[in-house]
Amino acid sequence: MLARTAEYLFWTGRYLERAEDTARLLDVTYHRLLEAIPGDEDRAWSDVLRSVGLEDDYAATGRAVTADGVSAFLVVDPTNRGSIQQCITQARTNARGVRELLAVELWEALNSLHLDLQARDLLRDVRLLPHELYGFIRQGVQSVIGVADGTWVRDDAWRFFMLGLLLERAEMGVRSLRIRQSHHRDDDVHEWYATLRAASALGAYRRRYGTFDSEALVELLLLSTTLPRSVLFSLRGAEQIMAQLVADERSLALRLLRRLRAELEFADPAELAGPDLSSTLEVVEEQIRGITSAVAAESFLYRVDLDLHEFHLVPGGPG
């Protein structure tokens, strides 16, 4: 497969996942603030910007951190390449460049989502119908991914698409947990609810655990092998796909991915949930970015200087 073709497919998956995750965070924050005390709003919207990695980009606009300002920036701002509208547009543009490799139904679903989003008055919807808008975006992206799952031949095109999607999901998941974990208090269940809802994990948590505590949250959102949006679940899927894509077992991307997966797989939730949780999650996030950079260096012909030994083991991982 041509490097440019692989890159288009990889980023199509990443853009779709980023659009859905951003919509999830916005929807969760909107509902959380309906129950929040005065003064929480600025912090909550700052957390959303940090969770999607766009706090510096937003600060550069000079706008105040408000619900309307942040929501418009993350949904429709044409200068923000990470906005939901831009992500869907870029996913469609990339997919159009490799349309012959896609299932017909997949292209139709993605094109319809793009056109439906273009037809909406998004600024009005952000102000007046945020819950309906974010639900529409989530369901639209999920429909596209569902069509891909049900119609696409499991060839290298599908693998690069899914690899991008899963690595984006893992990175967004660990960063969101890192940003939100400091707000979890025994007397504020709404913060726990918001974190779990952002990962579609509230029902799974309630069925498995009796009370809210950091160890249980880490075990589910970071280390679960059965929750589809957990970090470890995503990395396992990415590793299986990567192993099918590369012929050389010495591939740096594959070795980095296997190493991180093994570290998390054998990590101790109690140890991870200790006072160093934030720094540990930051290391995991850095490692996922390193894996993505290695994929780019090996598959898209970019030069990225990486070393397997430059990353640190997470607590509880194999020595």
List, for residues 258-287, the tens digit of each pLDDT value: 999 999 999 999 999 988 999 999 999 999
State how far the Cα of 248 lies from the Cα of 100, in Å rounded to an integer: 28
Instruction: Calculate the dihedral angle through the C-alpha atoms of 285, 55, 31, 85, rounding to the nearest 10 degrees.
Output: -90
Helix (H) or strand (E) holding 152: none
Task: Decide if pLDDT at 308 tops 90.
Answer: no
Is residue 161 a contact partner of residue 9, using CB atoms and an 8 Å limit?
yes
State how far the Cα of 174 lies from the Cα of 214, in Å rounded to an integer: 14
Q: 112 CB contacts (<8 Å, ≥6 apart)?
A: none
CA distances from 229 to 70, 166, 269 (A): 25, 9, 17
pLDDT value, residue 19: 97
Instruction: Calculate the dihedral angle through the C-alpha atoms of 75, 147, 157, 288, rounding to the nearest 10 degrees.
Output: 50
Per-residue confidence band for 196, with pLDDT thresholds at 50, 70 and 90: very high
Per-residue confidence band for 197, with pLDDT thresholds at 50, 70 and 90: very high
- Can you tell me the mean pLDDT for 298-318? 53
Per-residue confidence band for 118, with pLDDT thresholds at 50, 70 and 90: very high
In b/e form, how buried is each residue of 117-136, taking b as 16+ CB within 10 angstroms? beeeebeebbeeebeebbeb
State how far the Cα of 291 lies from the Cα of 239, in Å rounded to an integer: 10
pLDDT value, residue 309: 42
CA distances from 83 to 22, 54, 120 (A): 8, 10, 15
More confident residue, 319 or 234: 234
Paired tokens of 283: 């290391």
| SS3 assignment, position 166 | helix
pLDDT value, residue 165: 98
CA distances from 98 to 67, 116, 196, 269 (A): 37, 22, 36, 42
pLDDT value, residue 33: 84
Q: Cα angle at 51 between 50 and 52, to 5 degrees?
A: 90
State how far the Cα of 95 lies from the Cα of 102, in Å rounded to an integer: 8
In single-letter form, the type of residue at position 180 comes to R
pLDDT value, residue 216: 94
- Can you tell me the mean pLDDT for 289-298? 93
Paired tokens of 262: 């093994």
Paired tokens of 207: 């069925």
Mean residue pLDDT of the chain comes to: 91
Secondary-structure breakdown of the chain: helix, strand, coil percentages, each rounded to the nearest 5: 75, 0, 25
Q: At what angle do helices 3-33 and 41-51 cross, to 10 degrees?
A: 170
Beta-carbon-side half-sphere exposure of residue 64 (alpha carbons within 13 Å): 5
pLDDT value, residue 142: 97
**CA pseudo-torsion sign 69, 74, 78, 84:** negative
Residue 79 buriedness (CB in 10 A; 0-12 / 13-18 / 19+): exposed
Tokens 């430059």: give the residue.
310
The model's pLDDT over 137-174, given as tens digits with 9 standing for 90+, comes to 999 999 999 999 999 999 999 999 999 999 999 999 99
- For residue 82, how many other CB atoms are within 10 A of its CB? 18
The model's pLDDT over 10-53, given as tens digits with 9 standing for 90+, comes to 999 999 999 999 999 999 999 888 776 666 788 889 999 999 99
| First CA to last CA distance, the chain | 37
The 8-class DSSP code of residue 181 comes to G
